Chains A and B, each alone.
Chain A
Amino acid sequence: AQSVTQLGSHVSVSEGALVLLRCNYSSSVPPYLFWYVQYPNQGLQLLLKYTSAATLVKGINGFEAEFKKSETSFHLTKPSAHMSDAAEYFCAVIANTGNQFYFGTGTSLTVIP
């Protein structure tokens, strides 16, 4: 079975500071991993995905994530936060042989001017 845990339901950073959103996964088979972002009153948008190619994945809006099998982690980072990054972020996992996406409970990012 697959699952994800997002540590920290709320994260606040100052504008220009590093963004780090944590995601740890559990999977009995090689996983595919995703980060989605949800802006207020909108649906979820794909930020980036890991599908067993390069372990460092670059996404939209300057975000990137690194797949670390030894740590079962897929943390999301951005070097410099922008006000427009304020949103809800969700990590998701699916087995590479499966069809069921499992989502974390989300992390709300606040950017302080």
Chain B
Amino acid sequence: GAGVSQSPSNKVTEKGKDVELRCDPISGHTALYWYRQSLGQGLEFLIYFQGNSAPDKSGLPSDRFSAERTGGSVSTLTIQRTQQEDSAVYLCASSLDGTGFSPLHFGNGTRLTVT
């Protein structure tokens, strides 16, 4: 597709359940980023992929969060045993090569609500 695609756009889940969020980056983009956006908190970096490897996982808030990327394309962010504080908009972005010269292209996000 022409842009970064994220699914689902909205997800409501019960506390304690696991959720999977999907990101399809722009074709040919080697770098992929996950961010979390909470009201008034700006964008919180979660993880960065270059190809299928994740050289920077420093932003994952706990071991309940994990992410993978396969085929240098689709990425999945998994949150296990969800908690209410996980409620946020999860944004995925891709860039051509992960350098500052290539800006980020964002998807529309997945709004996660944990009840």
> CB < 8 Å: which of A9, A44, A106 contacts B106?
A44
> CB < 8 Å: which of B42, B50, B93, B103 contacts A99?
B50
B-chain residues with CB within 8 Å of residue A106 when the two chains form the complex = 42-43
Stretch at the interface among B14-22, B63-71, B76-84, B94-102: B94-102
CA distance A101 to B109 in the complex (A): 18
Within A46-81, which residues are at the interface with B (CB < 8 Å)? 46, 49, 51
Q: Are A51 and B100 in contact (CB under 8 A)?
A: yes
Number of contacts between A and B (CB, 8 Å)? 63
CA distance A102 to B100 in the complex (A): 11
Report the minimal beta-carbon distance from B50 to chain A, rounded to whole angstroms. Answer: 7
* A-B residue pairs in contact (CB < 8 Å), sample of 16: A34-B103, A36-B106, A42-B108, A43-B91, A43-B107, A44-B91, A45-B106, A46-B103, A51-B101, A95-B100, A96-B101, A98-B100, A99-B48, A99-B50, A103-B35, A103-B45
Residues of A within 8 A of B (CB): 9, 31-32, 34, 36, 41-46, 49, 51, 90, 92, 94-96, 98-106
